Structure 1
Amino acid sequence: MRYELANLEWSAIKPFLPNKPRGVPRVNDRRVLNGIFWVLRSGAPWRDLPQAFGPYTTCYNRFVRWRRAGVWERIMNALASAHDATVQMIDTSIVRVHQHAACIANNGGQHMGRSRGGLTSKIYVVVDANGLPVRLGLTGGQAHDNRLCSILLGNLPQDGRLLADRGYDADWIRAFVAERGAWANIPAKRNRKDPICFSAYLYRDRNLVERFFNKIKHCRRVATRYDKLAANYLAFVKLACIRLWLRVYESTA
Structure 2
Amino acid sequence: MTRRQLTDTQRKLIEPFLPIGEYGPYPERLREQFEGVIWRFRTSSQWREMPGEFGPWPTVYGRFRVWRDAGVFTALLEGVIAEAARQGQTDLSLVSVDSTTARAHHDAAGMCIGKEAMDALEEAAADQERARQKGAARQDGTDRTDVTTPSGKSGGASGDGASSV
Q: Normalized against structure 1, the TM-score is what?
A: 0.33
- The structure with the larger Rg is 2
Higher strand share: 1
Name the one with the larger helix percent.
Answer: 2
Higher relative contact order (CA closer than 8 Å, sequence separation 6+): 1
Which TM-score applies when normalising by structure 2? 0.48
